[in-house]
Structure 1
Amino acid sequence: MKIIRLMALLYATVLFFNFTQKTETKPTIFIVGDSTVKNGSGKGDGGLWGWGDFIGQFLDTTKVAIQNHALGGTSSRSFQYKGLWEPVFKQLKKGDYVFIQFGHNDNGTINDTTRARGTIKGIGNETEEIDNLLTHKHEIVHTYGWYIRKLVQDAKSKGAIPVVFSPIPRNDWKDGKVLRNNESYGLWAKQIAEQEKAAFIDLNAGMSSALDKIGQEKVMGTYFYERDHTHTSAKGAVLSATVIAGELKKNNSLSKYVLADPKIKLPKKKKIFLIGDSTMANNGNNENAVGWGVAFPKYVDTMRVDVINKARGGRSSRTYEFEGLWKEVREQLQPGNFVIIQFGHNDAGAVDKDKFRGSLKGNGTETQIVNRADSIKETVRSFGSYIETYIKEAKEKGAIPIVMSQTVRNEWPNGKPELRDESYNLWSKTAAENQGADFIDLNVIIAKKYEELGKEKVSAFFPKDHTHTGPEGADFNALTAAESIKNLKKCALRDYIEIPKKKE
């Protein structure tokens, strides 16, 4: 019995030893850098991503682990004095790798009360002695090259393999070419790598060349945002990672970890569904009847969301459900999608004749049985009831509904734009409140703007009739809707709204 127990113990020890040995022999790639390597929390906040968030998709993570320790706002200096390098250094073991990319923030102020992250230019041994106004500590500030050299030497002291990167390019152009940093931080990073006999990847040159081929016009709005010339979109970050993977294939030590045929997954886009009538819809080729939903994509971040305009001309809150149009939308909804709901123009029609699209007034629970012309009996409900159904069922699918009151007609009773604040505006608002949805009183907001513009200018928005806008009016209403969403403090959709800066 003792022999059996001894053998079992020996077997368990061997298994544990083998497991531990396998775990310990798997190297780790530690990544240190700034926001161009990891932006924010690394979840694409604001649509901005770093290449460190995607490089793992190019590597065989069954053979090598990846830890992205980059932090936005840091320089080669502040990353170290803030203590961010220390936990990486403690984990390093022989055979690990350290990817190092800094430079975008090293050009900042050396001493101030906000960031104090600047370094002395170059790779020399110059120093500047300061009392740090941010940390309130005495500090000796060194050159950019000195800090990069320290990271390289620290990594080597633990048996790890450092790889130095030049900083990615900014989205700045001259004469059809991206501006390089090969006379500043890119050059200095290369010089330190050469002096320390460390691997060097000229990411700045590689990505700049790739962007040059794409062209400035196509780069904007795809790989970079117009509002930010430093941080890449998801596609921009993938482009950086693609360049890096290509360079890693040339590295004898790292090439074995690069996947031959990587399957790259970009962040899944959210969807914004628009449901409503012709004042929101795409009404064919009729330039005199353009719904604001046609222009709306101009004011959203289409790199992260798709606008799906399912509004249909001639529909009311009632017929949109009766004809199965809402069912079609509902079946497509996914958690995190958005649904913008706007009806009212056609709900005032007849309930039991003609187009059979009128809904009962108000928000009540009363119903009316209607014998339609096609011999089908229909139970008609109140306008508010239909709106509440859309809100409730959207929420059940995990989508986020936003209710808007109807657009303004080109009617000016008493010299002011038409308002429906005692009918469809009120009923829309009540329905939203009953179901806990955001509400935008677009009717009132647009009416105020129309009043400021004046009747003559507004009339140009309505080339066909008093209800339907042309392209100019549709764009005006779309921008107003977007601005109104942006003002919803607790609505997630506001983060995807892009309002262009006004030209001076």
Structure 2
Amino acid sequence: MSLTRRQTATALLTLPLALTATPALAHGGGAGGPRPRTLHIAGDSTAAAKSADAAPETGWGTALPFFLASHLRVANHAVNGRSSKSFIDEGRLAALLDGVRPGDLLLVQFGHNDEKTEDPARGTDPSTTYREYLRQYVGGARARRARPVLLTSVERRRFGPDGTARPTHGEYPAAMRALAAEEGVPLLDIQALSLARWQQLGPDGTLPLFLWLKPGESPNHPDGAQDNTHFRPPGAVETARTTARALLDEGVLAARDLRRLDDRVPEEWITWDGPAGPAGPAGSAGPA
């Protein structure tokens, strides 16, 4: 991609990319202070920051800073409805990479919308194009001396008649696992970890995590909601905690980089953006 094309693509992103940071990082390192190491998130609506008119829908990227030490920050570039392909085609990866510095991490979680193979703007094939697009994220991070990290897609809430949690992402998680092994990239198997967690909690125990609302419970969803893909604050916190633990378990971060892994995170800590919301549509009740 030429420099002119990158600049043009960046200019086309008229809506700001969502940036999430812990309160302690609002002041950064100060003039002359060390630059905080940044975890950049490229992903879809399961991770994305949400607008106030979508509340209580919450992406796990909003909750991730609660589990990171003060010398780390999160730049959440995830956008509703995007796939590994459309995120690149819209120039969003180019814009993200412009802010990546040596030592940063690029967390990549796509799959929900790659599965929409009937949509040529988003659909990818797990054995071919999905991997080809993911390689661009890996290569882009490495070219900037940052570390790419692949995350399989968090699971939806789906149970069989016998109460068994069922996988919903087809061959995409296996394709990402294979690519991570080929490229020597750390893999956070959030699909497997979340599926196991949903199994532990069961059909009833998972309801408070997802966007299930009774009519009148939320002014933004007057007719209620029965959404088994997107999270309420407890689900975003649960998934962010799982992600933070996986970063530690896979050796991507050290114990000194993390906090609160075993502590309760109050739901009141979750905040939403203004009415215009982050880049891309918000509040969808369909797939991510």
* Structure-2 separation of matches of 1:168 and 1:89: 24
Query: Is residue 2:40 matched to residue 1:30?
Result: yes
Query: Is residue 2:150 matched to residue 1:123?
Result: no
SS class of match (1:198): coil
Against the structure 1 CA distance between its residues 110 and 182, is the aligned structure 2 distance closer, same or farther, given a 3 Å change threshold?
A: closer
Q: In the alignment, residue 72 of structure 1 is paired with which amino acid? A: N
Query: Is residue 2:192 matched to residue 1:205?
Result: yes
* Structure-2 separation of matches of 1:146 and 1:29: 23
* Structure-2 separation of matches of 1:56 and 1:19: 19
Q: In the alignment, residue 230 of structure 1 is paired with which amino acid? A: T
**Cα distance, 1:35 vs. partner?**
0.1
CA deviation vs aligned residue, 1:104-162 (integer Å, no higher than 9, x gap):
011224556xxx2111x2233xxxxxxxxxxxxxxxxxx11111111011111110011
* Structure-2 separation of matches of 1:247 and 1:194: 17
Q: In the alignment, residue 250 of structure 2 is paired with which amino acid? A: N
CA deviation vs aligned residue, 1:172-227 (integer Å, no higher than 9, x gap):
11232222257511111111111111110010111111111111022224434261
Query: Is residue 2:65 matched to residue 1:78?
Result: no
SS class of match (2:101): coil
* Structure-2 separation of matches of 1:190 and 1:197: 10
**Cα distance, 1:251 vs. partner?**
3.3
**Cα distance, 1:171 vs. partner?**
1.1
Q: How does 1:24-423 map to 2 (within 5 A)?
A: 24=35, 26-41=36-51, 43=52, 45-60=54-69, 62-109=70-117, 111=119, 116-119=121-124, 121-124=125-128, 143-174=129-160, 175-181=162-168, 183-225=170-212, 227-255=226-254, 256-259=256-259, 262=263, 264-267=265-268
Against the structure 1 CA distance between its residues 195 and 239, is the aligned structure 2 distance closer, same or farther, given a 3 Å change threshold?
A: same
* Structure-2 separation of matches of 1:250 and 1:82: 34
Q: How big is the alpha-carbon RMSD for the aligned residues of Structure 1 and Structure 2?
A: 2.4
Is the contact between residue 44 and residue 234 of structure 1 (CA under 8 Å) also seen in structure 2?
Answer: no
Gap regions ≥5 residues in structure 2:
1-28, 213-224, 271-288
* Structure-2 separation of matches of 1:94 and 1:193: 21
SS class of match (1:249): helix
Against the structure 1 CA distance between its residues 169 and 19, is the aligned structure 2 distance closer, same or farther, given a 3 Å change threshold?
A: closer
Is the contact between residue 40 and residue 71 of structure 1 (CA under 8 Å) also seen in structure 2?
Answer: no
Is the contact between residue 28 and residue 97 of structure 1 (CA under 8 Å) also seen in structure 2?
Answer: yes
CA deviation vs aligned residue, 1:398-418 (integer Å, no higher than 9, x gap):
xxxxxxxxxxxxxxxxxxxxx
Is the contact between residue 39 and residue 48 of structure 1 (CA under 8 Å) also seen in structure 2?
Answer: no
SS class of match (2:81): coil
SS class of match (1:100): strand
| Superposition TM-score, scaled by structure 2 size | 0.72
* Structure-1 separation of matches of 2:178 and 2:115: 18
Against the structure 1 CA distance between its residues 251 and 22, is the aligned structure 2 distance closer, same or farther, given a 3 Å change threshold?
A: farther
Identity across the alignment (%): 27
* Structure-2 separation of matches of 1:80 and 1:123: 18
Aligned length: 227
**Cα distance, 1:265 vs. partner?**
2.7
Q: In the alignment, residue 237 of structure 1 is paired with which amino acid? A: A
Gap regions ≥5 residues in structure 1:
1-17, 125-142, 270-504
Against the structure 1 CA distance between its residues 52 and 103, is the aligned structure 2 distance closer, same or farther, given a 3 Å change threshold?
A: same
* Structure-1 separation of matches of 2:119 and 2:249: 40
Higher Cα Rg: structure 1 or 2?
Answer: 1
**Cα distance, 1:76 vs. partner?**
0.4
Is the contact between residue 49 and residue 76 of structure 2 (CA under 8 Å) also seen in structure 1?
Answer: no
Q: Which has the higher contact order (CA 8 A, sep 6+)?
A: 2
